[in-house]
Amino acid sequence: MDYSKFLNEKVQGIKPSGIRKFFDIANEMDHVISLSIGEPDFTTPWHVRQEGIESLRRGHTWYSPNRGFMELRSQISNYFARRFNVEYNPETEIVVTVGGSEALDLCLRTLIDTGDEVLIPQPSFVCYEPMTVMAGGKPVIIETKAENEFRLTAEEVEKHITPKTKLLILPFPNNPTGAVMRRTHLEEIAKVVEKHNILVLSDEIYAELTYGKERHVSFADIKGMKERTIVVNGFSKSYAMTGWRLGYALGPEEIISQMLKLHQYAIMSAPTTAQYAAIEALKHGDSDIERMRSEYDIRRRLIVDELCRMGLTCFEPEGAFYVFPSIQISGMTSEEFCEKLIFAQHVAIVPGTAFGECGEGFARVSYSYSLKHIKEALERIERFVNEQK
C-alpha cells in the first residue's frame, strides 16, 4: 500500500538523524569500539537511584502534577539560583518535562507560527531544525566557524535577522563542538536580541560540564535577558540520568503557562519515579557532578592531545563531552572518513555533517567512555590515519 498520501508531508521531508546511521553500522559489526554516543558512561549515582526505588517501594506510582512535583520545582529553583545566579518562581516559571527534548519541542511549538524564522547556529544538536520545521517555522542556519572556536558572534546573528525572525536558539555548551560562550560574548548577543526584539531559547543541558576557568553563564543571567529567554536544562548529562527522561524549561510565566497546555495534552506529566530521584540529585548531588566532571576533564585532555598529535587538529573544547577534530588532512569528506574508519579499524565516530552541512571536514568524537576504551580507540584511529598517508 502506498502510505505517502496519508503521511504528513513535513514528517516525510525530515531526514533521519545522521548519528543513528553510525550506531546502526556499529551494532551490526563485531569488535567495534565506539566513540559516537552522546550520553554519560556513568551509572546514575546510587543515592539517586535509591530514592527512585524507595518511591516505588512506597507505592508512588501515580501521575504527578502537570507542572511536576512542587518539591522538585522548588529544588530546581534553588539549584538554578545557587549554581547560575538566576531566580525562578517554582509556582509559575518552571515546567518539568520528559527530558530536555520535550522542553525544546514545547518551546518551539508554543512560540512559532507558520513562516516565523528561527535562527539556528550550526554545527549543533540534531533536533532543532526538524522541530522548527514541525512547528511550522523556517530554520535559518548560522554557521559557526573553527577560527572562532565555534562560538556564535553577535555580527553573525545580526546578519541573519529579518522582520520574520522570532527566536534565536543558543546551543551552548555545544554538542558537537564543545564550544562555550563567555559572559562578554553573551552580552554582545544580548544587545542584538534587544535591538531586534526577539526571544532566545537557550539549551543549557551541558551547563555543568565546563572545564575552563569560567563556569557556565546562563543567558538568563545577562542583564535584561531573563524576560526574553526560555532556558532548557535537565538531568541527563549532569547527573548521568539519560534513561530517566527528565528535564525542564524555565521562563516567563506567560510563556511557561502556554507551554504547559501542550504538555498537559501531549504528555500529562513527567515520569513520577524519575522526579523523586531528581529531587535527591538536586539536594545531594553536587559532589557527583564534580566527580564526573573531573573524570571527563582527564579524558578530554588526553583525547585532544592525541588527536592533535596525529594531525586531526582540534581547538580545545571547554564544554560538554565532545571533541570536534578536523579530518581535512585525510582528503576525504566527513562521511567517507567515518565510514572507512569503521570498516577498516572498527571505530565509530560521527561525521560533522550529521550536525549541519557546515560540519563538513570535521567529526564528533565523544569522550563519555572509560580511559581504557578511549586509549584503544585512539590507537586504532592513529593506525587508520597512518595507513591513509
State the residues that interact with ligand PMP by CB under 6 A: 38, 99-101, 125, 171, 175, 203, 205, 234, 236, 242, 247
Side-chain-facing half-sphere of 303: CA atoms under 13 Å: 31
Q: Give the list of residues 6+ apart from residue 67 with CB closer than 8 angstroms, or none.
A: 73, 94, 95, 96, 260
Nearer to ligand PMP, 123 or 361 (CB): 123
- 254, three cell numbers: 506567560
Q: Smaller CB distance to ligand PMP: residue 192 or 205?
A: 205
CB of 347 to ligand PMP, least distance (A): 21
Per-position DSSP letters for 136-167, written without gaps between them: T-EEEEEE--GGGTT---HHHHHHT--TTEEE
Is 36 or 175 the residue whose CB approaches ligand PMP more closely? Answer: 175
Phi and psi at 360, nearest 5°, equal -60, 135
Q: What percent of the residues of the chain are helix, what percent strand, and what percent coil, each to the nearest 5? A: 50, 15, 40
CA distance 139 to 87: 31
Residue owning grid cell 572498527: 346
Instruction: Give least dist CB 240 to ligand PMP, A.
Output: 11
Give the residue nearest to ligand PMP (CB). 99
Q: Please, what is the minimum distance in Å from the beta carbon of residue 317 to ligand PMP?
A: 14
| Cβ closest to ligand PMP, residue 90 vs residue 234 | 234
3-state SS track over 88-110: CCCCCCEEEECHHHHHHHHHHHH
Q: Which three cell numbers stand for residue 71?
A: 518539591
Give the nearest distance from C-beta 58 to ligand PMP in angstroms.
26
The smaller minimum CB distance to ligand PMP, of residues 41 and 194, is found at: 41
Residue 283 Cα distances to 81, 273, 275, 366, angstroms? 13, 16, 12, 29
Least CB distance to ligand PMP at residue 363 (A): 16
Nearer to ligand PMP, 203 or 295 (CB): 203
The nearest distance, CB 352 to ligand PMP, in angstroms, is 15
